[in-house]
Every structure is written in C-alpha cells, then in structure tokens.
Amino acid sequence: MDRTAKIATDKKAPFFRRLWKNIKTHPLLYIMILPVLAYFIVYHYYPMYGMIISLFDYVPTKGITGSNFVGLKHFRAFLEDPYFFRTMRNTLSINLLLLIFGFPFPILFAVLLNELRSARFRKLTQTVTYMPHFISTVVICGLMLDFCKSTGVITTIVSAVSGQEPVNLFSRASFFQPLYVLMCIWQEFGWDSIIYFAALTGISQELYEAADIDGGGRWRRKMAKNHPCNSAGHLSHHRDPADHAHR
C-alpha cells in the first residue's frame, strides 16, 4: 500500500519536479541522450526560425529582424499567381510518382541483395549503389543532362526502344517528371535499402528451413518471411518523397 500511495503521489507532483527527480535518479541515461537532443535542436528545430522570413521583405544585409515586415504579402502573391495551380499539380504529381515507384524500389533491391550468394559481389553492389547518395545533387543533375542529351546513354536506349530519332529528352516537357523520378531513385535507392537489408539479414535461418519443411516454394517463403520482418522498417524508414527536392 505504501508503494502504491507513493507512486500515486509522484504522479500528482508537477511535471518538472518529477523530471528533476528522474534526472537525479538516472543521470547517465540523460547524459547519453544529450548528443541526440543537441543534434535535433541544432539541425531540426533551430532552422525552423528561418520560416518567418516569408513574413518579411528580406534583405540579406539587414537580416530578418531588420527587414520590413509585410505579413502575408508573399503568400497572397503565390496564391494569386497564374501558375499556382500548375505548380501544385506538378508538385503533387511528382510526389505521387516518387511514392509509387521510389518507395518499393529499395525494398525490392534489398530482397535481391539478400538472395546473392557471393559476399564479395554483394558488397561490391552495395558500394556502387550507395555512392550516388554521397554525390551532390548538382552533380547528379549534370550527369542526367549528359545521359539525356541527343547522344546520351538514356536517349540512345529510349530511341532504340521507341524507334524515334534521338533528341535531347529534357527538351520535351512530357519526359521531365519520369526523368526526375528516375534520378531520385538512382541517387537514393541504394542508401534507402540499408535498413531493409539489415532486417532481412536478421531473419533466422530456421524460419526458412521451417518453410521448406511446410512445402513452401521460393516465392512463398520470401513473402511469408521477409514481409513481416520488414514491415516495421517500412514505417520507420519511410520519408517524405519531397525530401529529394529539398536536398
């Protein structure tokens, strides 16, 4: 009864008093969390201060607080812009394409990597596919421009498949969104596959042996064993496709 009464009393205490008591009881745990807390404050929360720049006629030499406050002027200008609906349509379209094609691609790639028997070839494949993630988006765009010019690799493939004359693909508006989605997938699918591949390598071999005994085929084993083990990774690793545009 005394312990129950003490717990009930602690719950009624003010939040900061309970927090301070918990810090004194477990100081090492709070010390361990400080680097993570500092990371989120410096790189995630502090930059949000810059969002108020939209409420000012910002002048770099004057800074945010020294610039003239204009309220919702820029928001009204954007909403009244004749290209507003086209911009929104293109943004939603690109994000939908990235969600449909960009989200499952790393998962499928991780499953294929897990099927490789040669550890050396698997490591080589991982290294090659991770590399674009560390390359600047500006460089990736430059490579895509070279690949898509009239004599580029992608243009040659498209011309061979379609039977049309090779032209610069970026000169056609209809090709921009597919090429942009392709560029985002190419740059990020190797890096995004890390968590899924880690989940697959953590599956016990006994599960596969049990599936063999139950008479499950190769595809059935993959669906029954890999999907549940990756389901948590799907939720934890999924990120907004628009991140690619902000990099």
Q: Judge whether residue 139 has pLDDT over 50.
A: yes
Could you give the CA distance from residue 53 to residue 234 in angstroms, rounded to a whole number? 35
Could you give the CA distance from residue 204 to residue 225 in angstroms, rounded to a whole number? 10
Q: Judge whether residue 245 has pLDDT over 50.
A: no
User: Residue 97 in contact with residue 177, Cβ under 8 Å?
Assistant: yes
Q: What is the pLDDT of residue 40?
A: 93
- What's the mean pLDDT when you consider all of the chain? 81
Q: Judge whether residue 212 has pLDDT over 80.
A: no
Q: Judge whether residue 238 has pLDDT over 60.
A: no
Q: What is the pLDDT of residue 195?
A: 85
Q: What is the pLDDT of residue 84?
A: 93
Residue 226 vs residue 169, higher pLDDT:
169
User: Residue 129 in contact with residue 189, Cβ under 8 Å?
Assistant: yes
Q: What is the pLDDT of residue 235?
A: 44
**The pTM is what?**
0.67
Q: What is the pLDDT of residue 42?
A: 93
- For domain 94-246, is the CATH number 1.10.3720.10? yes
Count of Cβ atoms closer than 10 Å to residue 113 Cβ: 20
Q: What is the 3-state secondary structure (H, E, C) of the chain?
A: CHHHHHHHHHHHCCHHHHHHHHHHHCHHHHHHHHHHHHHHHHHHHHHHHHHHHHHEEEECCCHHHHEEECCCHHHHHHHCCCCHHHHHHHHHHHHHHHHHHHCHHHHHHHHHHHHCCCHHHHHHHHHHHHHHHHCCHHHHHHHHHHHHCCCCHHHHHHHHHHCCCCCCHHHCHHHHHHHHHHHHHHHHHHHHHHHHHHHHHCCCHHHHHHHHHCCCCHHHHHHHHHHHHHHHHHHHHCCCCCHHHHC
Give the tens place of pLDDT for each residue, 105-132.
Answer: 998 898 888 888 888 898 898 889 989 9
pLDDT bracket for residue 98 (50, 70, 90) = very high
Give the tens place of pLDDT for each residue, 54-92.
Answer: 899 988 888 888 889 998 999 999 999 999 999 999 999
Residue 103 vs residue 213, higher pLDDT:
103
Residue 208 vs residue 30, higher pLDDT:
30
Percent of all residues in the chain with a pLDDT value above 70, rounded to a whole number: 77
For the chain, the structural domain boundaries read 2-76, 94-246
Token pair for residue 19? 């927090």
Q: What is the pLDDT of residue 217?
A: 60
Q: Judge whether residue 223 has pLDDT over 70.
A: no
Give the tens place of pLDDT for each residue, 158-195.
Answer: 888 888 888 888 888 888 999 999 999 999 999 988 88
